[in-house]
Chain A
């Protein structure tokens, strides 16, 4: 897994709540047997019209906005457990998703792919969304070590929570398989102790 420590970037504001993983990557694109290429179909039915032409009113198609941070409305990533959603966001180039609330499975899938979900307060999200929408050149800084998200050259900043184990994994580029396999003796002892 790619390491993550610190990131400074402009951001794309996607002011919609309850974005489910079917929107992030529709089911008809889940037929691949590897995890490459999903970025091409990220938000497919919002980015493109049914005839395949670009939907110019969708924010990802607005040339004013770019960057590796996506700012999205409350309850991001709900619905299907498809990890293809995290692959699609990472494949498109996002490194960080900022929202006031993430669905559980999506959050785990992101962390397992080095894509950092940054959960902020409703008020901070609103402020960020408005600021970035009106000033697309606004830069945000995410510091994982310090667990802060800040607007560069302003006093606007907020702390965010992350599980200390997951933080260690991201900073070092470790994944759970390494850790679990290092506990194999404990796992086998657990199995041997089962009586029912």
Chain B
């Protein structure tokens, strides 16, 4: 029987199967944060059930944390209480916590890979839908609800029905100025926001083979935006090289043994998938979204489509856009570069490279929020901070920030924000805020021009 990458990892983690029902799947690593864990701890406490494997869990504070003055007590009382609860729960249960200010603190999906906690062939869960990010390493990684967080605490397992398999293949060479974010926005715009529901997705083809780990993480991160619980990319030399030497990565002969195993993971040549899509790299251009779900995306040079549909009209109405119009030169007052999708060092290098020697437009507030303390330190070490500050950008401290606006980093009502995050839902970045999703390059160029840039004039001619 030919197996897919997904089959191989899944099958290696099945503890038991219920007849005509779900399977018990073993979970190797569990990531937790302050927002979706307190009720799970409470549930266990009420039922007098201990956390089974605290050493397989790491915790961070990221969703509900300020991105300024992190050395001071958190001002918002409810937020401070939630963070306090996480610290107490971790301490009580012997769980490693990278709290605010710790040198390893940051967005859960940024820190786990950079610490080498994320590895090929393992199962990873977190009470956060963007857990799909870790699939970039060839792991099965997916978001879960709080009841399931409690289940993993109690048993290190979940009861799941095996999802169907989907493969998205993109071959060819990406044009200059086309980034991994554009690739995934393009795919979602073509197949829709629920094409992946019930499926686990594998990304294959030369475009992903040639991508950096940061790029692969950006792609896998947004798998959930097409409905797929997770996305995966076969581990290869790029993967092994990234992991080597990381804090929790296996060392010496242990590492070699792992690599030998990881090399057996890619899908067998004749493995079949329940659903397949194929795209050509040369069809992909810099992308932006115009609506209120990530599937509502167009090439930056295209016009908004026309569709006779009430939900579509409601969406355009919220955004203040009209069917058939171009978004080029639309004035923009807010730019956000950050989130678990695009807050890794590569993203800031791309932004800095474009910004260097230019000045931010006066109308724009531009927030740069690193994904972790380590990324923040790299930004300083590589001299990018100097470039950003000289150009008038505001470098903040790590966290989820304006991606979901749980903290004070909110976009005001009716304002547009060109954002490198993953969701353009109504109110996602603040009540009444209007989000336009894009790559870090487009976001940087928007901040410089103060309007949606004709990015092709810089790169594609």
Contacts and interface: CB of A to CB of B under 8 A. Distances in A.
Given A78-B194, A165-B159, A187-B26, A34 B42 contact: yes
Contact of A186 (B16, B43, B145, B146): B16
A196 B16 CA distance: 20
A109 B22 contact: no
A23 B292 CA distance: 11
A176 B159 contact: yes
A172 to B, nearest CB: 14
Interface in B34-77: 35-36, 38-39, 42-43, 47, 49, 63-64, 76
Interface in A48-66: 50
Interface residues of B, number: 68
Given A23-B426, A78-B193, A180 B21 contact: no
Contact of A112 (B78, B148, B311): B148
Given A83-B145, A108-B148, A20 B425 contact: yes
B38 A33 contact: yes
Interface residues of A, number: 54
B440 interface: no
Contacts of B261: 196
Contact of B24 (A15, A17, A45, A186): A186
Contacts of A23: 425-427
B404 A27 contact: yes
Contact of B197 (A33, A34, A103, A177): A103
Contacts of A175: 147
A82 B143 CA distance: 9
A17 B35 contact: no
A81 B229 CA distance: 10
B84 to A, nearest CB: 9
B310 A177 contact: no
A75 interface: yes
A26 B150 CA distance: 23
A45 B431 contact: yes
A82 B39 CA distance: 12
B431 to A, nearest CB: 6
Most buried by A among B146, B193, B258: B146
B22 to A, nearest CB: 6
B159 A179 contact: yes
B128 interface: yes
B158 to A, nearest CB: 8
B49 A33 contact: no
A33 B24 contact: no
Interface in B273-289: none
Interface string B203-229: 000000000000000000000100101
Nearest to A15: B310
Contact of A183 (B15, B127, B148, B197): B15
Nearest to B18: A165
A50 B158 CA distance: 40
Contacts of B146: 35, 83-84, 109
Interface string B130-154: 0000000000000111111011001
Interface string B231-268: 00000000000000000000000000110010000000
B306 interface: no
Nearest to B192: A75
A108 B145 contact: yes
B22 A112 contact: no
Nearest to A111: B147
Contact of A196 (B38, B158, B258, B406): B258
A80 interface: yes
Contact of B406 (A30, A102, A103): A30
Contacts of B63: 27, 30
A181 interface: yes
B42 A50 contact: no
Contact of B147 (A79, A102, A164, A176): A176
B105 interface: no
Given A22-B428, A34-B42, A183-B15, A105 B145 contact: yes
Interface in A62-77: 73-75
22 contacts: A18-B293, A22-B423, A22-B426, A23-B426, A31-B78, A33-B38, A33-B42, A45-B426, A50-B431, A80-B423, A81-B127, A82-B145, A105-B144, A164-B21, A179-B159, A180-B155, A181-B154, A181-B155, A183-B15, A183-B24, A184-B155, A196-B257
Given A20-B425, A163-B22, A176-B148, 20 more contacts: A18-B293, A22-B423, A23-B426, A23-B427, A31-B64, A45-B427, A50-B413, A73-B311, A74-B194, A78-B293, A80-B423, A81-B143, A102-B197, A105-B229, A177-B43, A177-B150, A179-B159, A180-B159, A181-B49, A196-B257
